Amino acid sequence: MIQKQKIILLVLLSLVLGACSLTTIEKSSRDPANTGIDALFGPEFSFTNSKILNSMTGATDYANKLNIDILREWKAKFELLCVVLACKVVKTSDKHGEAYRIKFEDGFWLQAGTDTGCLEVQAKPSTVSEFTERKDIIKRMIWESGAELDLKPHVRIGGGHVNVDLKTAFPNNDALLFRNFVVDQANNPHLVAGIFGNHTGNSPPISALEPHLHDSFKDTIRIFDETLDATGGLAAMQHLGKEIDRRVYVSNPFWLNNKKKVWTPSYYQHLSFRSIGQSVAEEQRRIELRGFRPQQTINEFILEAEFINGRLTYLRDINRPIEVKIPKRINFSRQEKIARFTELVKESRLDEARFKYFADYPFENQAFIVDSPRVDTPTPSPEARFRSGINPMNQCLSVFRTVR
């Protein structure tokens, strides 16, 4: 009898241990398709028309009377749509002045205001699935109502900046993932030199900067790797952003009067860190990817967000520092851009068929490049440029007024 009880106990013990073992295996296995990064994204959709562009008097002319009049006309259309879509329009303000927020019953919102040469629409930071669920409403509220006022996304004006929430993109303040994402963006300028945009003067990748700044970037990453624990959390992430601002973002190809703080080089880069510091509220901390062209559709924005999630997931699963490999040039052929993008899509385990949209895109030419950073001759001063008849403000306005 005692022997039988021992056997029963051994069987039960083996079953318990087996269950624990299975539980451990289940928890330790990681299916990237099911556990991918699911960040919150904040868009900056931009819309313009010939009236707005022809009324501009300067590159910071974002709140002139015509802009505001058209914004108010758009607001009236929002109010009519809200009768059907169960929302309300509330007057508010942003950094440029008058703005209107469209509030939906479930807490989602859209906000329209003015910006340089365009009207800009922001949205409540949301996940890819949340934007996908609302894409028809966003299309009707923004794209279709805007078209009634001849407001459409330009090929370049206003940009299509993508803000990525720091907390959800880098869970647990993953400084190694943050470091790798920054390096991955530097290693792949093809993304913002053709695939997603080509405004390499206003929002250049590292490759578009002067060669000695490539070295500064590499040195900054090396020091980070040697002296800071990559698991150092938010403080390490903030430190890296601050050091890149200080040591790398000291110039860019989009030169204007340096006395105008609005043209600060540390902001006019593809990857902006100005909203990750301690002075920024936790829910507002984000990195801004500025090298994106204005999204022509809501679906285009959703694909871009999916791609960023895919790269973040891929880099997280590597779980080791990736090497800095900045291309020594910024001009790539269409075939080179598409080939590299396809590699990144495959690497990120994304659906190639879905992302063929970008391979078929009619890439625009670069804008606002006054001098190539690859030329070894001394860069003339702003005063010399003006004396030689090269007026950057006129160049800006001539591009602004070329509406597609």
Q: What is the pLDDT of residue 334?
A: 92
- The single residue listed with the structure tokens 């109010």 is 79
**CA atoms lying within 13 Å on the CB side of residue 239:** 18
Task: Say if residues 52 and 67 touch (Cβ distance below 8 Å).
Answer: yes
Residue 286, classified by CB atoms within 10 Å of its CB into exposed (0-12), middle (13-18) or buried (19+), is buried
Which amino acid, one-letter code, is at 298?
I
Question: For residues 127 and 125, what is the distance between their CA atoms, to the nearest angstrom?
Answer: 7
Mean pLDDT by 10 residues, the chain (404 residues): 49 41 29 75 96 78 81 98 97 93 98 94 98 98 98 93 98 96 98 91 90 96 85 90 95 60 75 95 96 96 98 96 94 94 97 93 58 31 31 35 36
pLDDT at 20 (0 to 100): 39
Answer left, alpha or beta for residue 194, where phi above 0 means left and psi between -120 and 50 means alpha: left
Q: Please calculate the CA angle 117-118-122 and round it to the nearest 5 degrees.
A: 140
pLDDT of 380: 35
Provide CB contacts within 8 A for 153, sequence distance 6+: 45, 46, 47, 48, 160, 294, 295, 296
In 185-307, which ranges are E strands?
271-272, 286-289
Give me the pLDDT at residue 370, please: 32
Say whether 387 sits in a helix, a strand or coil.
helix
Tracing tokens 């590597």 back to the chain, one arrives at 318
**What's the pLDDT score for residue 200?**
82
Report d(CA 67, CA 69) in Å as an integer.
6
Rg (CA), the chain: 24
Q: How far is CA 111 from the centre of its chain?
A: 18
Q: Which helix (H) or strand (E) holds 41?
A: strand 41-47
SS3 of residue 239 by DSSP: helix
DSSP string, 103-152: EETTS-EEEEEEETTEEEEEE--B-HHHHHHHHHHHIIIIIIHHHTTT-B
Q: What is the pLDDT of residue 360?
A: 87
- What residues form DSSP beta bridges with 119? 47, 114
Q: What are phi and psi of 31, to 5 degrees?
A: -95, 105
Tell how far CA 373 is from the center of its chain.
24
- Note the Cα 358 to chain centre separation in Å: 16
Give the model's pLDDT for residue 121: 98
* Contacts (Cβ under 8 Å, ≥6 apart) of 232: 175
